[in-house]
C-alpha cells in the first residue's frame, strides 16, 4: 500500500536543484510529465515501466489530488508528483542532463493575447528543457491549439540540440500517435485536430 504522502513532493521545501535520486530513494532514469491532469498517461507508463521513475507536475489542485490518490490506490512506487509552476521549476530547479524523457501534452494555450505571458512555452523554458534533457532523451509535445502549436514549433525549430523524430513510439507511450491522455481522448471525440512534435536530444 502506498500513501498519498509518499507520492507527493513539496518542492518548495527543497533547497537548490531537485535531487531526483533523493526524492525517489534510488537512481533510475527519470521521465517528467508536465500537466498530468488525472494521471492516465502517467499511471500507464509507470506500471508498464517499473525500471523508470516518473515525475508528474500538475498545477490544478483538483487534478493534482485526484492523480496523486490514483497513484497511491494503484500502489505504484516509481511516481512522484508536485503541484508547482512547471516553467519556474524547469528554468530554476531541474538539473542539467537529469531527464531521460519529457512529456508535455495539451499545455494550457491561454488563447487570449493578454494571457500569452502565462504560457508554458517561452524561449527561456525551451532553453531550460533542452538543458535538462540528457543525451538521447526524448521530448514529446502535443496540443489541439493550432496557433499555440505554431508558437511551439517556432521555438523548437532549428535548435541544433534537437533532432526531430517520429511521435509514434510505443516505448514512450505513443502508439499510433495516440497517447490516450484524458484531453486527447476528449478532443479526438470532438473532432479536433491534434498537433504533435517529438525530438531526440543530440
CB 167 within 8 A of CB 118: no
Among residues 108, 144, 168, 169, the one annotated as catalytic is 108
Backbone angles phi, psi at 35, to 5 degrees: 80, 60
CB 196 within 8 A of CB 60: no
- Distance separating the N- and C-terminal Cα atoms of the chain: 40
Known active-site residue 19: no
3-state secondary structure at position 97: coil
**Residue matched to cell numbers 533542452:** 130
Give the pairing of strands 133-143 and 162-164. unpaired
Q: Nearest 5°: CA angle at 162, between 136 and 58? A: 80
CB 11 within 8 A of CB 86: no
3-state secondary structure at position 182: helix
Residues sharing a CB contact under 8 Å with residue 139, sequence separation 6 or more, in sequence order: 101, 102, 104, 129, 133, 162, 198, 199, 200, 201
Give CA–CA dist 41/74, Å, rounded. 14
List, by residue number, the catalytic residues: 108
Amino acid at each position: 500500500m502506498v500513501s498519498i504522502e509518499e507520492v507527493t513532493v513539496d518542492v518548495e521545501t527543497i533547497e537548490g536543484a531537485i535531487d531526483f535520486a533523493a526524492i525517489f530513494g534510488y537512481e533510475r532514469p527519470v521521465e517528467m510529465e508536465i500537466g498530468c491532469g488525472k494521471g492516465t498517461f502517467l499511471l500507464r507508463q509507470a506500471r508498464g515501466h517499473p525500471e523508470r521513475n516518473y515525475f508528474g507536475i500538475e498545477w490544478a489542485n483538483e487534478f493534482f489530488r485526484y492523480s496523486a490518490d490514483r497513484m497511491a490506490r494503484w500502489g505504484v512506487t516509481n511516481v512522484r508528483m508536485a503541484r508547482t509552476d512547471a516553467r519556474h521549476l524547469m528554468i530554476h530547479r531541474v538539473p542539467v542532463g537529469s531527464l531521460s524523457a519529457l512529456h508535455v501534452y495539451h499545455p494550457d494555450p491561454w488563447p487570449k493575447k493578454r494571457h500569452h505571458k502565462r504560457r508554458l512555452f517561452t524561449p527561456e523554458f525551451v532553453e531550460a528543457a533542452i538543458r535538462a534533457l540528457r543525451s538521447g532523451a526524448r521530448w514529446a509535445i502535443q496540443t489541439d491549439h493550432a496557433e499555440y502549436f505554431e508558437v511551439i514549433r517556432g521555438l523548437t525549430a532549428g535548435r541544433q540540440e534537437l533532432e526531430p523524430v517520429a511521435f509514434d513510439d510505443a516505448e514512450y507511450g505513443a502508439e499510433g500517435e495516440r497517447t490516450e491522455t484524458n484531453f486527447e481522448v476528449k478532443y479526438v471525440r470532438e473532432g479536433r485536430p491534434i498537433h504533435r512534435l517529438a525530438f531526440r536530444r543530440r
